[in-house]
Amino acid sequence: MLHYLLFFIFAGVCLAGALFFLFQRHPVNSALSLIVVMGSLAALFLMLGAEFVAAVQVIVYAGAVMVLFIFVIMLLNAGEEERTRGSKVALILGVPGLIVFFCLMYWTLALPRSQVGHVSIGDFYVSTQQLGIALFREFLLPFEVTSVLVLIAIMGAVVLARRERH
């Protein structure tokens, strides 16, 4: 029972953060709302038993990517968004798309569970420890090549940033 309660709490926080993200006028507030979404998604991944995915969600997305977004927003000195009138094209395409989406959701939820299908994790379940062992034994060379490529990209960004200042 507690599992369901926690799921609904984190899913509600995720949906509320996504709605705040969509309807905020100030870009920094939108980015902070997106951090709330990323954090609640990490909690949902943790509830599913995917510790590695939850950790990556927090470290990479809620941490590094969102810090980069906020840095760019502040660097560009983006102010509050101006109010605009709605587009008729968006209304013409959005309303039928929304109707199709809700029809598909109803169709998926209304079908008996035997017709939807069932996927069992079975032999495909891998713990974080097994993933780390495979990463540093079998896939050590691709891991190291990826780290060197990331290092080269960082050095290139630093060189480009210094060149623009001079």
pLDDT tens for 63-115 read 888 888 887 777 777 666 666 666 677 778 788 888 988 888 787 777 666 55
Q: Tell me the average pLDDT across 5-13.
A: 92
19 vs 69 pLDDT, higher one:
19
What is the Cα–Cα distance from 52 to 135, expressed in whole angstroms?
13
What is the Cα–Cα distance from 20 to 31, expressed in whole angstroms?
10
pLDDT at 131: 81
pLDDT tens for 31-69 read 889 999 999 999 999 988 888 889 988 998 888 888 888
pLDDT at 12: 94
Phi-psi region of 117 (alpha: psi -120 to 50; beta: other; left: phi over 0): left
112 vs 1 pLDDT, higher one:
1
Note every long-range contact of 9-15, with CB atoms under 8 Å and residues 24 or more positions apart, other chains counting. 10/40, 10/43, 10/44, 10/47, 11/40, 11/44, 13/40, 14/40, 14/41, 14/44
The pair of three-digit structure tokens given for residue 60, joined into one six-digit string: 């990479």
CB 80 within 8 A of CB 25: yes
126 vs 144 pLDDT, higher one:
144
Q: What global pTM score does this model have?
A: 0.59
pLDDT tens for 130-163 read 888 888 888 888 888 888 898 888 888 777 777 6
Query: Torsion over CA of 150, 152, 157 and 158, rounded to 10 degrees?
Result: 120
